[in-house]
Chain A
Amino acid sequence: MKDFQTEAGATFANGVTLTGGGVLRGARGLLPVALFVVPFGVSFGVTAAEHGMTPEQAIWMSLLAFSGVAQFASLDFLSPSVPFLSLALVALAVNARHVVMGAVLSPWINALPPGRRMLTLLFMTDPNFADSYAAFLNGKRDMGRLLGGGLALWAMWTLGTAIGVLGGKALGSLDAYGVDVVMLCFFTALVAGQAKASRYWAPVALSCAAAVLLQGHLPQGWDILVAALVGGVVMAVSGGRDIAGRTR
């Protein structure tokens, strides 16, 4: 594929760039995944309407928050007197994985100037994080991959929300077509693609075990965070070679 690195005219530390061509390629690359986000958006829109949200409110929420788990969780807090502190803690927990995802991408993200760094991070979510991290490990340096993938997911999430909240219950359940498992299968594919390298086996196995064992013992969101940290510690102490070839 042709290299568009020069078109923006700016290359930052570590050879990092953010180009328009990269954004377009990122959006195109994640479009097949983003299309499957539409039914999730629809189900959020339908559920939001059932909880008494107006179409305007549901659509603005998807545009501004762009976090399916946090948005679904917040619907349970719609009541005459909202417990805002509890809601903030739940939002913090279900979004805690964003902190570790951002930390993981920091060697590349932090090479961008502050404005472009913030713009790119606004659209970081699970699928484009996983896609971009694999690409960056393979030597790709255009942050447009993260931003473009995020924009595609964001657009489809909002589109789905609008369809759901305006179309309402007439749409019914899409589970019969299997769309509910698409994200699980996409994440599985990303893990399977990485787990060819044997150094990932122990962290993956133990984090999965932690996630299953912690079910129901921690508030929603914290189980994922703890499981991810378990995997990180296992990887760090397992004595394997790191990316730079150093040994413990």
Chain B
Amino acid sequence: MSGGEFQVWGIILLIAGVTLASRLCGPFIMRAVPITGWVERFLDGVAVSVIAALVAAGLAQRGPREVAAVAVSAVVMLVTRSPVAAMVAGLAVAAGWTGMLG
């Protein structure tokens, strides 16, 4: 095994280890935190915000095509209450945009 290959395996194990630790430590920390009304509301707010922030950050890095797709999927979700329908609608908008405008 060459030195370079050894380093690649080092990267793989490091990424796997840090990711595993990040998955395990949330519930572990919360064993020491009493769940009061404030903590409950905070976690409820964090839960929806982390997903919303992923969308907002994704859109900030992209363009009008992605904004249109996300807007349509939000409307479809509010009307149909089906995440799969919302995904398919957003995908159709993005594919159509690329097909027509390049």
Contacts and interface: CB of A to CB of B under 8 A. Distances in A.
B93 A178 contact: yes
Contact of A200 (B37, B43, B48): B48
B27 A53 contact: no
Nearest to A214: B57
Interface string A185-214: 111111111111000100110011111100
Given A36-B87, A57-B12, A182-B90, A231 B49 contact: yes
Contacts of A170: none
B51 to A, nearest CB: 5
Contacts of A81: 7
A64 B12 contact: yes
Contact of A215 (B27, B61, B81, B91): B61
Given A53-B8, A182-B90, A118 B37 contact: no
A2 interface: no
A235 B30 contact: no
B87 A33 contact: yes
A110 interface: yes
Contacts of A74: 11, 15
B46 to A, nearest CB: 4
B8 A178 contact: no
Interface in A206-234: 207-212, 215, 223-224, 227-234
Interface in A52-107: 52-54, 57, 60-61, 64-67, 70-71, 74, 77-78, 80-82, 84, 87-88, 91-92, 95-107
Question: What bracket does the count of chain B residues touching chain A fall in?
Answer: 35 or more
A235 B45 CA distance: 5
Interface string B55-76: 1111111000110011001101
Contacts of B15: 61, 65, 67, 70-71, 74, 87, 91
A120 to B, nearest CB: 10
Contact of A207 (B19, B23, B53, B93): B53
A242 B89 CA distance: 33
B52 A207 contact: yes
A178 B92 contact: yes
A242 B91 contact: no
Contacts of B12: 57, 60-61, 64-65
Given A66-B19, A212-B56, 4 more contacts: A98-B23, A101-B47, A102-B23, A211-B54
Interface of A: 32-33, 36, 52-54, 57, 60-61, 64-67, 70-71, 74, 77-78, 80-82, 84, 87-88, 91-92, 95-107, 109-110, 117-118, 121-122, 124, 126, 130, 133, 175-182, 184-196, 200, 203-204, 207-212, 215, 223-224, 227-236, 238, 240, 242-244, 246, 248
State the 8 A-B residue pairs at the shortest beta-carbon distance, nearest first.
A102-B26, A231-B49, A235-B45, A185-B90, A178-B94, A178-B95, A207-B49, A232-B46
28 contacts: A52-B8, A57-B12, A60-B12, A70-B19, A84-B11, A91-B19, A98-B23, A102-B22, A102-B25, A102-B30, A103-B27, A107-B30, A109-B27, A176-B98, A178-B95, A184-B58, A189-B87, A203-B45, A211-B53, A211-B60, A215-B57, A215-B61, A224-B57, A231-B46, A235-B41, A235-B45, A236-B38, A236-B39
